[in-house]
Amino acid sequence: MRISLNDIAATRLLAFMASRGISNPTHGLNVLITLASQLNLIPKSADTNGSNREQQQPT
């Protein structure tokens, strides 16, 4: 899988990784996703491919 991060996300990921001594971006993302799921920051309505089943109101 290949992903692209914007400049802000890349900077924050690198800072997160540096603060924990992580050198592999894939490992850094795995840690972030695990922490987010443990803190219930990932909506329970997200399905297996990551899309949200809740209908969002137009802005």
* pLDDT tens by residue, 1-42: 789 999 999 999 999 999 999 999 999 999 999 999 889 887
pLDDT of residue 6: 96
Cα-only R_g, the chain: 14
Q: Which residues of 21-38 are buried (b: 16+ CB within 10 A; e: fewer)?
A: ebeeeeebbeebeeeeee
Contacts of 43 (CB under 8 A, 6+ apart): 52, 54
Spatial distance between the Cα atoms of 24 and 49, rounded to a whole number of angstroms: 23
pLDDT-derived band at 49, boundaries 50, 70, 90? low
